[in-house]
Structure 1
């Protein structure tokens, strides 16, 4: 992400290609979210953009929502399934510098979580640490699948909002 802050006027005046380059991966590789955001302009604030994107996901069909969740990148130990914003966030908490014990622990927790709940572990990494993420794993493994789907979408929406606010900074 570049360091130059963006104004709301710049957001509203962006050409389609520039808009997708900047906001296309806010919700991963799901163009339908960015399409709705592009069509929702002009915005009064970046918060309004984040709200529209959230509402787009929340009002999507269950099939589309579950597809988004299933494709959300798992917290990998090697970063291979990550790119762009997700990779930057992963590196910020030091996942690229795990020792062998930490890597084994994260790998085991990912396997346990997916095995028990059938979905990837989703956590907003912005402002977190490896320790806080590990704590979340332990707490959330006790939840039902339904509760974890709700929690995963809260985390996805939190990630998206934080990504948008970083662009506006």
Structure 2
């Protein structure tokens, strides 16, 4: 038996797809497709907040330099304000690394709920629902590989995306 994917709740092998304790033998699975839900505005707002947090210290530093130069203060005060503003801008570097990492993870997880469906014993059944796009893509590809291998050994079985009574997938993850 070959294991194509495995985590705490999903296991895809050459024999079956197991999700949350339920097992679906590959020999009983027909067409497999996926659906994408609506965008999560919460996720998009979080990405916007990260962008503002990234720009905030740099904008504050630029404003400080501009104000110090515009007010024509004494050279000592101007240098102090410009120096403080530059330090604020430089302080954004370590913060930016953390924020860019969070932003990158946000895009890896995606902003939509994703569902994987299959025709099992003649009726549609939802195998998986998740908001994690990276994990969903790994599982979906594992099911594809398992189905392709099963189809090669028994040509009568349907493959992912083959025509049948269900429509073809509208989009790919």
Regarding TM over 0.5, the answer is: no
TM bracket (short chain): under 0.3
TM-score by length of 2: 0.24
TM-score by length of 1: 0.24
Greater relative contact order (Cα < 8 A, sep 6+): 2
Structure of higher CA gyration radius:
2
Larger strand share, 1 or 2? 2
